[in-house]
Amino acid sequence: MSKSIQSIRGMHDVLPEESPRWQQFESVVADIMRRYGYSEIRTPIVESTDLFCRSIGEVTDIVEKEMYTFEDRNGDMLTLRPEGTASCVRAGIQHGILHNQIQRLWYLGPMFRHERPQKGRYRQFHQFGVEAFGIADADLDAELILMCARLWRELGLKDIELQLNTLGSNAARQQYRQVLVDYLTAHQDALDEDSQRRLQSNPLRVLDSKNPELAEIIANAPSLLDHLDEESQQHFAQLRAILDAAGIAYTVNPRLVRGLDYYCKTVFEWVTTSLGAQGTVCAGGRYDGLVKQLGGRDTPAAGFAMGIERLLALMEEQQCEFALQPPHAYLIMQGEAAIQAGLLLAEQLRDALPALRLTSNCGGGSFKSQMKKADKSGAQFALILGESELAAGNIAVKPLREQGEQQSIEQAALAQHLTTLINGL
Ligand code: ATP
Ligand code: MG
């Protein structure tokens, strides 16, 4: 036998036993988005490499070393999307749906980054994200944060802390940049290779370094908060006032600069201590300059993205309540005539009872083996259709979980009978 083919390292199957969790997450998300007035957008998984270089920034982890980039058969450079914001902005500009209007969008899907796989860090992972265009005020930033808080509540998640910072206007950041470069240059010998390079190209990113040896230098660095412009200060104050009034707790973390280049003003992360090193479950902020940078008209924008694998892991860790949905009933059929009649009857039941979860036994088998499958399916009842039931126009309803005796029910009355049984569960 030849060696069987495995999935790509860092890219995982969602197995049938796991998919109900994903579906639960997706349905809670879709429901919340509908209630806040956000519309779903679906963009291609492959984009021009340029899109990510121009939006995320050349000197970021993603563009420097994490992208899945390849040349296609036409010689075009393409990239599997590493995140969703760039594609949303690209699509918005391309279809003219951003200018002079408000767009509140959300997306959900796989992202690809060539990172070292470990718990909570994969090469194909999934993000749910939101992007809102056309609103410059801090009330939108607050809405985004309130939406996240609602999602945690409705998923039953606890202990996710909000960290908040503001990056100021581009002008203020330029000024701070010089102060930071002076400070870091004075400590140049202690910087690691990555940070030495960033000191030249993108010094703020040094603050984002995960190297513990740099923790002290970073902690003592001058703070951006001391170099803010008036407008950003007001924006930040308004956001904080709304969050305070809404009872949303947060920590202001002046070192929070985010890995991507395109943020300004508000940035935030939701972090948990329950998942080890990979504790950031959601990250977002304002990126007023990006639409213009990608060739559109000046459009204020803000959004966030969350890692679904990390959130599902957290839900498991915190044993969030979750209703498994085995079938209500399992239909056992014996003999060719009963199979034909049984599948028809099953269709009629599904028409009559839209909430019914009914599994039909396909593939034959003895009565005993079909009963075994019925039990294994987790169903509450077996519906048994053999030759004698067929002749009499009946069906046997057999409780599988110690709920009383088997009953013989007229087929015409079965829908009504099942309604009563299901309502009683
Ligand atoms: P990190 O600092 O953990 O590398 P990041 O800053 O690169 O995160 P973002 O680009 O902000 O992450 O993505 C938003 C969220 O997507 C993260 O907070 C995280 O929950 C999730 N995420 C990012 N990269 C991965 C990955 N490789 N595997 C699983 N989830 C990820
Ligand atoms: Mg990363």
Tens-digit pLDDT profile for residues 275-334? 888 899 999 999 999 999 999 999 999 999 999 999 999 999 998 887 778 999 999 999
pLDDT at 210: 81
206 is in which domain, residue-wise?
A: 173-224
**Has residue 324 been placed in a domain?**
no
Cα–Cα dist 290/98, whole Å: 12
Which of 288, 317, 346 is at the close of a domain? 317
In this structure, the answer to whether residues 163 and 66 fall within a common structural domain is: yes
Residue 121 DSSP label: B
Cα–Cα dist 268/283, whole Å: 6
In this structure, the answer to whether residues 164 and 179 fall within a common structural domain is: no
**What are residue 331's DSSP bridge partners?**
360, 383
**Has residue 3 been placed in a domain?**
no
| Nearest protein Cα to ligand 1, atom 9 | 283
pLDDT at 90: 98
**Has residue 5 been placed in a domain?**
no
Summary mean pLDDT of the chain:
94
Ligand in nearest proximity to the CA of 82 = 1
Sign of CA dihedral 209, 213, 219, 220: negative
Query: How many structural domains is the chain composed of?
Result: 3
**Are the C-beta atoms of 278 and 121 separated by less than 8 Å?**
yes
Tell me, using a 6 A CB cutoff, whether residue 263 lines ligand 1.
no
In this structure, the answer to whether residues 397 and 342 fall within a common structural domain is: yes
Tell me, using a 6 A CB cutoff, whether residue 176 lines ligand 1.
no
Which of 317, 342, 360 is at the close of a domain? 317
Which of 262, 292, 317 is at the close of a domain? 317
Atom of ligand 1 nearest to the CA of 66: 27
Q: Which two tokens stand for residue 132?
A: 């809102």
Tell me, using a 6 A CB cutoff, whether residue 134 lines ligand 1.
no
**Has residue 10 been placed in a domain?**
no
**Are the C-beta atoms of 11 and 121 separated by less than 8 Å?**
no
In this structure, the answer to whether residues 297 and 162 fall within a common structural domain is: yes
Tell me, using a 6 A CB cutoff, whether residue 281 lines ligand 1.
yes
Q: What torsion, rounded to 10 degrees, do the Cα atoms 142, 144, 149, 153 define? A: 140
Which residue in 146, 164, 130, 156 sits closest to 268, CA to CA? 164
What's the pLDDT tens digit per position in 89-139?
999 999 999 999 999 999 999 999 999 999 999 999 999 999 999 999 999
- Which parts of the chain register pLDDT below 50? none
Can you tell me whether residue 113 is helix, strand or coil? coil
pLDDT at 2: 84
Q: What are phi and psi of 275, to 5 degrees?
A: -110, 20
Atom of ligand 1 nearest to the CA of 121: 28
**Has residue 2 been placed in a domain?**
no
> 162 CA to middle of ligand 2, Å?
18
**Has residue 305 been placed in a domain?**
yes
**Has residue 104 been placed in a domain?**
yes
* Amino acid in the structure at residue 271: V
Cα–Cα dist 10/392, whole Å: 57
**Has residue 107 been placed in a domain?**
yes
pLDDT at 259: 60
In this structure, the answer to whether residues 143 and 250 fall within a common structural domain is: yes
